[in-house]
A and B are shown apart, each in its own frame.
Chain A
Amino acid sequence: MGNSREEQDFLELYEAHSDAVFRRCYFKTSNRDVALDLTQEAFMRLWGYLAKGQRIDNMKAFLYTVVNNLIKDWYKKKKSIVLSRVEIVAEEIPDVSINIEEGAEVAHVIRMMERLDDGDRELITMRFIDGLSPRDIAEMLSEKENTVSVRLHRAVNRLREFLHGERK
């Protein structure tokens, strides 16, 4: 008796999406351990749902809904955090699998992202942190793909302006 086909599919899904899920959790919580826990919890919930025989039409969208809900729950429990998210990320990024220079640069970008409005920031997060395609984002936000592409393009330009403005 080996793994069932469903188990194998599920574990393949985990291999394919675990980094993206982890990344989202990490950038949202600024805590590597919490991000790992949330990633694990997200996939467990997904399996729990599948094991009950529930139908999932769009696996990726479902996974991100679960992840977002977990992050929201985590924020509710963490109201007492004093340090700002950006400060913690700036400290922790070099600790991840990128070098110090890159870490500082990424931290700077994140700091600039804080200036964007919520919609733009979420779009950039979905595209560049979660690694979702414009089509996936469109499906999740119930929008047209070209609308998402245009919005994304504008959001990136706004971020670029912030970055250039900062350097001048």
Chain B
Amino acid sequence: MEELFTYYDIYATKGVEYLIIIVFYIIIVAFWKFVNIKPY
């Protein structure tokens, strides 16, 4: 019988790398705003 679900290796599919890139893009927005706060 054909398997209905196949497991993939998150490393082999570069899933982790995509996740890191997404996290980077999320953080860079906050980081950019944080860096550009005017000195007090």
Q: Do A and B come from one complex?
A: no
